[in-house]
Structure 1
Amino acid sequence: MQERKVNSSAIIILTSLGFFMSMIDSMIVTTATTAIRHDFQISVNVLQWLLNIYNITIAALLLVGVSLGEKIGRKKVYLIGIAIFTIASIFCALSTSITLLIISRMIQAVGACVMTPMSMAILTHSLPVDIRGKALGIWSGIGGLALIVGPVLGGFIVATLSWQWIFWINLPIGIITIYFAHNLLPESKGKDDKLNFTDILFIAISSAGIIWSLSTITTNTTHVITIITGLSSLALAILFIVRQKISSTPMIPLRLFRTKVFTNGNIATFLLYASMFGVLFFLPQFFLVLENVNPLVAGLQLLPWTATLVVIAPFAGSAVDRFGEKIIATLGLFLQGIGYLLIIFLFNATGSYIAMAIPLMIAGMGLSMAGPALQKAVLSAVEPIYLGKASGIYNIFRLFGGAIGTTICVIVFNIFGGTTNSTAFAEGFDAVIITAGLISLFGIVFSIRLTTRDKK
Structure 2
Amino acid sequence: MVGAHRLPCEIPAANEPSDFAGDDTRWVLPTTILGSSLGFIDSSVVNVALPAMQRGLETGFGAMQWVINGYMLTLASLILLGGSAGDRFGRRRIFMIGIAGFAAASLACGLAPSATWLIAARVAQGAAAALLTPASLAIIGGAYRGEARGPAIGTWAAAGAFTTALGPALGGWLVDTVGWRSIFFINLPIAVAVLLLARKLPRDRGTGHAAPLDRSGGVLAVLTLGLLSYGLITIGEGAWTRGALALIAALAAAWLFIRREAAASAPMMPLSLFRSSNFSGANTLTIVLYAALGGALFLLPFLLIEVHGYTAMAAGAAFLPFSLIMGAGSRWSGGLVDRFGARLPLVVGPGVTAVGFMVLAVSGDDPNYWSGFLPGLIVIGTGMTIAVAPLTTTVLDAAPENKSGTASGINNAAARAGSLIAVAALGLAFGGTAPPDFEGSALAHAYRLVMLAAAGCAALGALIAALTISPARQSPG
Query: TM-score if structure 2 supplies the norm length?
Result: 0.77
Aligned to 1:386: 403
Aligned to 2:325: 308
Name the CA distance, whole Å, in 2 between partners of 1:322 and 1:179.
45
Select between 370-379 and 124-133 the one with higher mean Cα deviation.
Answer: 124-133
Instruction: Report deviation, 1:96.
Output: 5.6
Is the aligned partner of 1:164 residue 2:185?
no
In structure 2, what residue type is equivalent to 1:453?
Answer: Q
Q: 1:445 to 1:431 in 2, by over 3 A?
A: same
Deviation string, structure 1 residues 122-160 (Cα, Å, up to 9, x no partner): 566777899999987876665455554333222221332
Name the CA distance, whole Å, in 1 between partners of 2:338 and 2:98.
30
Root-mean-square deviation (Å): 4.0
Contact 1:260–1:454 (Cα < 8 Å) also in 2: no
Is the aligned partner of 1:453 residue 2:453?
no
Aligned to 1:3: none
Is the aligned partner of 1:414 residue 2:435?
no
Aligned to 1:214: 232
Aligned to 2:355: 338
Is the aligned partner of 1:434 residue 2:452?
yes
In structure 2, what residue type is equivalent to 1:431?
Answer: L
Q: 1:251 to 1:245 in 2, by over 3 A?
A: same
Q: 1:414 to 1:42 in 2, by over 3 A?
A: closer
Query: TM-score if structure 1 supplies the norm length?
Result: 0.81
Name the CA distance, whole Å, in 2 between partners of 1:205 and 1:95.
25
Q: 1:130 to 1:438 in 2, by over 3 A?
A: farther
Q: For structure 2, list consecutive stretches of 5 or more residues without a partner in the other structure.
A: 1-22
Select between 231-240 and 132-141 the one with higher mean Cα deviation.
Answer: 132-141
Name the CA distance, whole Å, in 2 between partners of 1:282 and 1:179.
38
Name the CA distance, whole Å, in 2 between partners of 1:358 and 1:135.
34
Instruction: Report deviation, 1:269.
Output: 1.4
Is the aligned partner of 1:194 residue 2:212?
yes
Instruction: Report deviation, 1:389.
Output: 2.5
Is the aligned partner of 1:204 residue 2:198?
no
Contact 1:133–1:318 (Cα < 8 Å) also in 2: no
Query: Residue 431 of structure 2: SS of its match in structure 1?
Result: helix
Select between 358-367 and 379-388 the one with higher mean Cα deviation.
Answer: 379-388
Instruction: Report deviation, 1:51.
Output: 3.6
Name the CA distance, whole Å, in 2 between partners of 1:59 and 1:292.
34
Is the aligned partner of 1:273 residue 2:290?
yes
Aligned to 2:20: none
Aligned to 2:3: none
Match among 378, 403, 416 for residue 420 of structure 2 = 403
Instruction: Report deviation, 1:373.
Output: 2.5
Instruction: Report deviation, 1:447.
Output: 3.5
Paired residues for 1:353-364 under 5 Å: 353-355=369-371, 356-364=373-381
Select between 226-235 and 12-21 the one with higher mean Cα deviation.
Answer: 12-21
Select between 33-42 and 126-135 the one with higher mean Cα deviation.
Answer: 126-135
Name the CA distance, whole Å, in 1 between partners of 2:461 and 2:26.
32
Aligned to 2:314: 297
Match among 103, 119, 122 for residue 105 of structure 1 = 122
Name the CA distance, whole Å, in 2 between partners of 1:312 and 1:166.
29
Instruction: Report deviation, 1:85.
Output: 1.0
Select between 76-85 and 310-319 the one with higher mean Cα deviation.
Answer: 310-319
Instruction: Report deviation, 1:376.
Output: 3.1
In structure 2, what residue type is equivalent to 1:392?
Answer: G
Aligned to 1:241: 258
Is the aligned partner of 1:55 residue 2:72?
yes
Name the CA distance, whole Å, in 2 between partners of 1:309 and 1:331.
15
Number of equivalences? 447
